[in-house]
Amino acid sequence: MTTGTIGVVDPIVQRLRALVQDSPDLKDAAHLYEAILPLLRDANLHVETISITPEQAHSKMEMGLPLLHDLALELDGQAVCELMLRLAHAVETVCENNDELFRAEAARRIRLALEKDKLKVNDLLPYIASGKSDVLKSAAQSLQLDPDLVWALAQNALKPALHACCRQLTPLAEGISWHKGYCFICGTGAIVGELQKNTQVKHLRCGQCGADWLFRRLQCMYCGNEDHNTLGLLYMEGQHEKMRMEVCDSCNGYLKVIAAFSPTPPEMLPVEDLATLHLDYIAQERGYVRRAVGNNQ
């Protein structure tokens, strides 16, 4: 894939292909990411300016509420539907090529339902934006569609809008402490931690909107535990400076943490999550879990 200039490889594609060279078992997942992540990065969902004052932002965060809590986003329903359609088509094509025929058929059925306007995304948009998966999944089941795949496609189709919201709202949070494991913008739990720059200051990153916030080095993002006797690290030999897991014996939760000189671009966060998939296996084999955490709007 090129990006306008002949011979210039898309950075997402370049990173994924390098990842597959190191970890061939990730090939199928990488092919899927290669098809969908550039679509998300390049989409424009025409998000309107969000009306919230610095005082309102400060008050919300002081109460532990993300900035999008109780805010009705002005979204272009048709643009979301069209992006969801392109994503469904991409999943269908990649899965066919990977001989994942069951999943390809599930994606095809969703694509057809969107094309024929049987799955009415515009009517369901408020529930998608507020994280009410049960409403969307019920609508999917009534049409004999895979509810989990419909939900995954819908959540991904919202990401470009949430990235735009994040860019708008982040300046309002400057100087406000946020020691939560969920995002101060959209309320989604952090996907990964980053030790940024030479100072190795710890940040958490949101995989849904791309937000970036400071977090205490010695604190569990799930239960808030700060007892060093029940907090630990897991890592593969020789990799502890590049990537590792922070584990908590109080709640059995874990967080993957990577070293990053500069913040990972939002569109690359799913790639870094995939690149550290082996850490998930190690943590889960030892009884640790990636817990649900969040305060969605």
pTM for this structure? Answer: 0.90
The pair phi, psi for residue 18, each rounded to 5°, is -65, -35
Which of 136, 171, 206 is where one domain is finished? 171
Contact 160, 43 (CB under 8 A): yes
- pLDDT for 73 equals 80
Token code pair at residue 290? 């990636």
- pLDDT for 293 equals 78
The answer to whether position 191 is within a domain reads yes
Closest CA to 222 of 200, 195, 261, 251: 251
- pLDDT for 283 equals 94
- pLDDT for 2 equals 44
The answer to whether position 293 is within a domain reads no
Contact 219, 291 (CB under 8 A): no
Contact 295, 69 (CB under 8 A): yes
Contact 213, 203 (CB under 8 A): yes
How far apart are alpha carbons 81 and 117 in whole angstroms? 9
User: What stretches in the chain show pLDDT beneath 70?
Assistant: 1-8, 294-297
Q: Return the CA Rg of the chain.
A: 20
Q: Based on the fold, state whether residues 188 and 240 are members of the same structural domain.
A: yes
Q: Based on the fold, state whether residues 221 and 245 are members of the same structural domain.
A: yes
The answer to whether position 4 is within a domain reads no
- Count of the separate structural domains present in the chain: 2
Contact 66, 185 (CB under 8 A): yes
Q: Based on the fold, state whether residues 35 and 90 are members of the same structural domain.
A: yes
Residue type, 24: P
Q: Based on the fold, state whether residues 26 and 164 are members of the same structural domain.
A: yes
Domain span at residue 181 reads 177-285
- What CATH number does the domain containing 186 carry? 3.90.1670.10
